[in-house]
Structure 1
């Protein structure tokens, strides 16, 4: 059957639709079965395109994906960056259009280098290599990766083996093989069945409980971000978190968690508050809180520190551009109000940091944005029995951003076979078990606390041991046959 052909305009519309379908695979929609459909729509007719046409197709896909799934950045720019509507819309459009260049470059390279034979295989490999590029280039943005949505699908047991990129690879392969099946290439049914039925034979438990469960209380202050860094905001933060802690002080909690930058001040300024709170806690209770630090050299860090029955600290390694530091600061700082950060520019912490120790167990950390980086979290999980992520998702407003953020935290739990504690300023505060299931969840946009139990775990999943590099190598290997076949065809033509 000849390759499917359609007009360039229709191809672009299908690509935009495929991007929208990818957003629907993610939270809060969680229509994971649309993942292969989205990949298949992009693959459809790809071999008939020139590299330039393929790049346009990829860019249209990116517009559909990030325009529908990441346009929550408008809330941060307009509501909290104090930027007018026209400029906020322009910046959001530039953000979306810039991110859309990643799939554009991926498809351009694919059509420039790969031939038509085994296209179903090389396309899936190229897709994952494109996601890898988006993860690390220009500090990276691994949001809305195709595999993230599969945390609730029958493919989920693959996650502890190869992580999110293996899930992306299998999802993309299912899409390309599905197109081949529609072309009446019946052999495609066999690898699809193998990929989706194999999880039935995979282990369901890679790690095992270590010691007794810990009783935790996660405190959600729900502070108004607009006033948080004012004097009134500081006083309100101190009041809310000390009162929320006091209500749990007489109970036998192992861990009490405050979220990222819970008190809008530096650790040195917050020490009297911490000492007062700690004096009212039972001696066996550990308090972990996000806080900003300023060292003797005038450097600033976004950190997690432990009080009471806790030792150590963690300093955020992967900072958010334009949120925690300003690229090209000398050029941009005075251009518009959005680029004037409400706090000093942060300094990244060391790449290798030991886990915190609290309540007799080791705790790996990921502050806010860091939880979306699978390999960074795996590096923490190798030496930890629990994972903690503190966040301030107030920047997302009432958009779908916090729900997407929670879904990625769930996948990190599944990849590493670790319980994840997620404490946020206004939601979604939750506890997640080692299979990525939410065991308890607090309502958003309320002053509240969430109590429950988490289980320290021992042992390492294959993904925790190796990280993503085996899947990246596999993806590159899937592209290579297409490259060799293309070169052979060119030699014959010459």
Structure 2
């Protein structure tokens, strides 16, 4: 086996296939147990390689991962971005090539710090630091983190303890231990491998408890066509659809939530209509909706507002590059014109915006893509007793993208032990329990209203209190023994 892995063609192919295998761990496939298997293969193909070979195999792993797991990018660019097939393919391939570069970092860190007998520990630390770097660099792309697949696995209890990075750490360590056991026949490593999976079973998943009365909620899903949404006819259709669904199925709720840009118009234009809808609800009910705002300086904001007794607003703080704003606009010029996006350049809201409030709920808000950032949502959850996220996943059609997006939202609920309300334009609209499980879900690709109840949650999980830094510090410490030993070997005067 070891000699076979040293063949360059075999190892390169295995790295590519192992990366593709990770996609099966996520929704909708749910084969979370394949995560350690994929990383066991990756660990194996990195053995006895030069730095150049390690970087190449890291890139191949990334190409397999993003080529399969982020294939939905093509749907967004081609089907809804008004981009021709050949150009959409080129842009998708460029995206995959660029994202795969990030997977060279854990391969590099591992090869630099694999000099000790604790190389399995170094591998796990390198992988986690690689994911952390990817969540930060160039505004970040924290998609396909291996820990996100484990909402319903035996490792789930690690999420409220240390967040997605701690779950990922367990997955990566499991993969390295598994490979070491099979390649080197070091059978005593079965004990720590078993401990990685058995210890979480003894840990609680709930660190917070319900406090306060039940609140009835209605999440309204209009299922409007994206391509015609911003036309005058589409605006009228949106107003009629959301008013009708609310009047017919949501009038008895304390809280009614419409999704991101439910009404394809500016707040100033929509406000008379929204106030009319609010007036049809019971006196103590609250209507919340996603809406585009424009300030006095002409800057647009992707926002969520609440009407009723406690009006408020939240403006999206973490924007999507090339989707909501154009990085290096002076250099890239008219690139954004390739895409058919109604409002390309959007301003960012502040990081310290307070929760929206209604009926004893302090709702920490995340708009669309923001929900995939664990630290952003954690900061919101510190001040909130429930979470709400609105999204327009219509951009991704029938691809696997919205299903992965939903799974990451579930993990945010679990990390912070908060009920999470997710209202979308065409699915996945759902109510998520504090343990990350979906309580109720609306059917996809049809108009619907999802009714249910939630309660405020009080108390903070260890992750909500401390964030990701303890796990990242642990990952860094896991690299130190090998790194120090490597430096000593290079220095003949070291003692």
Deviation at 1:201, TM superposition (A): 2.0
User: What's the C-alpha RMSD, in Å, of the aligned pairs?
Assistant: 1.6
Per-residue CA distance 1:345-404 (angstroms, 9 max, x = gap): 111100111111112221100000000000110101111111000000001110000000
State the TM-score, normalizing by the size of structure 1.
Answer: 0.97
Against the structure 1 CA distance between its residues 322 and 336, is the aligned structure 2 distance closer, same or farther, given a 3 Å change threshold?
A: closer
In the aligned structure 2, how far is the partner of 1:4 from the partner of 1:348? 52
In the aligned structure 2, how far is the partner of 1:301 from the partner of 1:250? 29
The answer to whether 1:366 aligns with 2:366 is: yes
Q: What's 1:217 paired with?
A: 218
Per-residue CA distance 1:86-132 (angstroms, 9 max, x = gap): 00000000001100000013312432454253211101100000000
Q: What's 1:153 paired with?
A: 153
SS at match of 2:272: helix
Q: What's 2:77 paired with?
A: 77
Deviation at 1:492, TM superposition (A): 4.4
Deviation at 1:410, TM superposition (A): 0.5
Q: What's 2:281 paired with?
A: 281
In the aligned structure 2, how far is the partner of 1:464 from the partner of 1:282? 35
In the aligned structure 2, how far is the partner of 1:370 from the partner of 1:27? 19
Equivalent positions of 1:18-417 (< 5 A) are 18-112=18-112, 114-115=114-115, 117-182=117-182, 183-248=184-249, 250-251=251-252, 253-335=253-335, 337-339=337-339, 341-417=341-417
Deviation at 1:483, TM superposition (A): 0.1
Higher mean alpha-carbon deviation, 307-316 vs 404-413, is at: 307-316
In the alignment, is the contact (CA less than 8 A) between 1:77 and 1:338 conserved in 2? no
Against the structure 1 CA distance between its residues 339 and 357, is the aligned structure 2 distance closer, same or farther, given a 3 Å change threshold?
A: same
Per-residue CA distance 1:188-239 (angstroms, 9 max, x = gap): 1111121111122212321000112211111001111101111111111111
In the aligned structure 2, how far is the partner of 1:204 from the partner of 1:337? 47
SS at match of 2:47: helix
Higher mean alpha-carbon deviation, 179-188 vs 412-421, is at: 179-188
**Matched residues, number:** 493
SS at match of 2:439: strand
In the aligned structure 1, how far is the partner of 2:477 from the partner of 2:3? 24
Equivalent positions of 1:383-462 (< 5 A) are 383-462=383-462
In the aligned structure 2, how far is the partner of 1:24 from the partner of 1:477? 31
Deviation at 1:6, TM superposition (A): 2.3
Deviation at 1:337, TM superposition (A): 3.9
Q: What's 1:486 paired with?
A: 486
In the aligned structure 1, how far is the partner of 2:281 from the partner of 2:385? 24
In the aligned structure 2, how far is the partner of 1:465 from the partner of 1:344? 36
State the TM-score, normalizing by the size of structure 2.
Answer: 0.97
Against the structure 1 CA distance between its residues 238 and 425, is the aligned structure 2 distance closer, same or farther, given a 3 Å change threshold?
A: same
In the alignment, is the contact (CA less than 8 A) between 1:287 and 1:310 conserved in 2? no
In the aligned structure 2, how far is the partner of 1:324 from the partner of 1:461? 33
In the alignment, is the contact (CA less than 8 A) between 1:378 and 1:464 conserved in 2? yes
In the alignment, is the contact (CA less than 8 A) between 2:216 and 2:452 conserved in 1? yes
Deviation at 1:3, TM superposition (A): 8.2
In the alignment, is the contact (CA less than 8 A) between 2:113 and 2:119 conserved in 1? no
Against the structure 1 CA distance between its residues 446 and 13, is the aligned structure 2 distance closer, same or farther, given a 3 Å change threshold?
A: same
In the alignment, is the contact (CA less than 8 A) between 1:326 and 1:339 conserved in 2? no
Higher mean alpha-carbon deviation, 48-57 vs 325-334, is at: 325-334
Per-residue CA distance 1:435-485 (angstroms, 9 max, x = gap): 000000011110111111112100000000011111111100001111011
Deviation at 1:296, TM superposition (A): 1.1
In the alignment, is the contact (CA less than 8 A) between 1:54 and 1:111 conserved in 2? yes
